[in-house]
Every structure is written in C-alpha cells, then in structure tokens.
Structure 1
C-alpha cells in the first residue's frame, strides 16, 4: 500500500487525485510542509512525499510519472511521439502556470517579509491571463491530450484551482469550462473530501 504525505492544499493534491483515479490502495497523511514526519522522509521539508515499500519519492511530477508508468495508466507509452507531446503539454503547464503561481505565493507569504516584492504580482497575473488565453484558443478537448485523461489534466486542473484560490483572473471561458468538468470527476471529489478530515 502506498503512503502519501502532504497537505491537500499543496501539490500533494495532484498525487492524491491520481491515486484515486488509479484505484490503488493508499494511506494519506495530511501534513503541512516541514512537519516532523515530512522532515524524516525529505530533509527539504517539501511535499508531496510518496512511500512505496522501502522507497521514498519526492516531487509531484516525479511521483505522477512513476505511478503512471508503473501502472501503465493515464500516460502515453515511454519512447513514443505521443509521450513526447504529453510531456511537452505537462511541462508547459508547469512552466507557464505553476511557476507563475508559485512565484506569486513566494512573494505573498513564503519568502521572509523583507525579501518580498508584492508589486510583481500584477505582472504575474498578466502573464497568467495571456498564457491561459493561448491555451484556450488551442484547446479541442475533452482533455488536454484529446480523448484521454492523464497527467497533464491533473496538473492543469490543480493549477487552475490554485489560481482561483489565489485571486488570479481565470477569464478564458473555454478553460473555465474545462476546469469545471474536471472537478466533476468522482476521483477528484474523493480526493477533495480530505479537506474535511
């Protein structure tokens, strides 16, 4: 049985959702970053952390890729053009959305107060809006990679939800509708239920 450590309000949610989609048994430890149990597994204190037997895996993308490859689900086959396209889409969301949101978070409450530059958030919101409009114009659906739900959809939906919570403008109607559809997936709802625990 997998053991997943991390807060629902962090990138650990990506892994939690994926485990629900896979239908694999797991235990979830809803711990915030730098919790003693997290530090015992990952000296950086960052989440998520996945324990599989004696192996400890960190970083949400590394964990998603590991699980998808191990169970041959929610991913294109390694070494194929489809896999390269999937990886390109996933990395696009990490670069153009996750990184923008993370920078805003760092300048809001993560960095020491004297190191924060709150003014940067306006340009980050502009960048996010521009990038999202570009994605909306290219989206053909129902999923980012066409007919198959996969890793890229988990990353994208988590970023879109993060943006809404952080007060970023999610204005593109195509991508708003896509995010609403993703949030209706039973596995998403089950993963979200941990917020109440």
Structure 2
C-alpha cells in the first residue's frame, strides 16, 4: 500500500492530485508541521530533509515532490508526454522549473511578507519580483497551449496546479487579473473530481492552523527566539 505523508500545502497537494487522478489506492499519513511531526524519527527515516511530502510504496521511500511525481508517472505509465527525447526534455525542464523556481521564490515571498519578524523591503521586493517573473513564464507557456506540454494533461500540470492554488496568498488577490491563462488552467484542473478529492484531504485531520510560538519554533527554528 502506498502511503502519502501529507500536509495541506502546495507540494503534497500535487502528489495527492496525481494519486487521485491515477486511481491508485493509498493511505494518507498526516504530518502536522506546526506541531513538529516532520522532525520525528519515523518521518526523518523516510525524508531526511524534514519536509513534506514523502511517499512509501512497499520498501520504496521517496522524498521531494518532483521525484515522487516522476516515480508515480513511470510506475503507472500515466500522465507522461509522448515518448520522444524532445517531449521528455520539455517535461523535465518545466517540472524542474516549478521545483527550483516557482516553489522556492513563492515560498520566500510568503515568508518575508507574512512570517518574517522584520519586514525588510529589499527581501520582499526581491522575492515577490522573482515569483512574479517565474509565473510570467508559466503564463506565457499556457498562452501557447491548453496544458503545459501541449494538448495533453500531464504531471507538469499537476506540479503547476499545486502552487497555483496559493498564488493569491503569495502575491495578492489582484494577481489573477495579470495571469489569465494560469487562472484558466487552475480553474479547469480544480474542477476535476480528482482535484476535489485531493483538496478534501485537509479535512480528514485537524491540522494546526495557529502560527504561535510553538509553530514558529518548528517552522523557523533559526529565528525561534524572535517575535513576529
């Protein structure tokens, strides 16, 4: 049985979407990061980085959401582009672009605008600008195609969707007026039954929502002594 170690945040969401789309049976194992579950020995034995998601499939242990998506796509033969070097090159490029660009810059934009104990204009401008620039490349790609790799729905679309659900939180509600193709793509995927089931996972467990001193200690241990 596949086990998905899950927290209701963008990277676990994209893996949940794939599992639901593929119809794979799995067990959701909650990881409450604001209570420090990610640092428990049993989780670190699967994901030494102490971040969600992680996935086990029998004896197989995988961490990093992009690696998990690739593993599941290759395991099932589903949601992959056509089997050509050109198509695979595009898939890997956009998948890693989400992993190394969209995710980190959106995450840092949220941190410096919402969580940092000191609002530093340089940092806010730096990460917000780069997050918008990265999303601009996604917007341009979706302006040329229905989906990220053309006319077929693939794992890359799932990776984009996971982060697109949080764009307003990262960059403000008004951002969607500037990225209509991303909004179209987000709305189409969010309306899929599999996406509805993936989004409902968060309601299966009472994840801690408060950003109190305990949560700050686990999420930002390097600044645990600072007051937001």
2-side partners of 1:157 and 1:12: how far apart? Answer: 11
* Alignment map for 1:1-197 (pairs within 5 Å): 1-33=1-33, 34-35=36-37, 36=40, 37-76=42-81, 80-107=85-112, 113=117, 117=120, 119-139=122-142, 140-168=144-172, 169-170=175-176, 171-197=178-204
Q: Which moved more, 1:33-42 or 1:171-180?
A: 33-42
1-side partners of 2:137 and 2:149: how far apart? Answer: 16
Secondary structure of residue in 1 paired with 2:51: coil
2-side partners of 1:194 and 1:30: how far apart? Answer: 9
1-side partners of 2:60 and 2:115: how far apart? Answer: 29
Q: Which moved more, 1:10-19 or 1:96-105?
A: 96-105
Question: Superposition RMSD on alpha carbons, in Å?
Answer: 2.4
Task: Give the TM-score normalised by structure 1.
Answer: 0.86
2-side partners of 1:94 and 1:41: how far apart? Answer: 20
Secondary structure of residue in 2 paired with 1:152: helix
Secondary structure of residue in 1 paired with 2:4: strand
Task: Give the length in aligned residue pairs.
Answer: 195
Offset of residue 83 of structure 1? 0.7
Structure 2 portions without partners, runs of 5+: 205-228
Task: Give the TM-score normalised by structure 2.
Answer: 0.75
Q: Which string of whole-angstrom CA distances, capped at 9 and with x for unpartnered residues, describes residues 8-52 of structure 1?
A: 224111111110011010000121244134234333321111011
Q: Larger RCO: Structure 1 or Structure 2 (Cα < 8 Å, ≥ 6 residues apart)?
A: 2
Offset of residue 181 of structure 1? 1.0
Q: Which string of whole-angstrom CA distances, capped at 9 and with x for unpartnered residues, describes residues 103-143 of structure 1?
A: 224445777x58x8464122322233333334323422321
2-side partners of 1:51 and 1:108: how far apart? Answer: 34
Structure 1 portions without partners, runs of 5+: none
Q: Which string of whole-angstrom CA distances, capped at 9 and with x for unpartnered residues, describes residues 140-191 of structure 1?
A: 2321111111111011111211222234434211211211111111111100
Secondary structure of residue in 1 paired with 2:87: helix
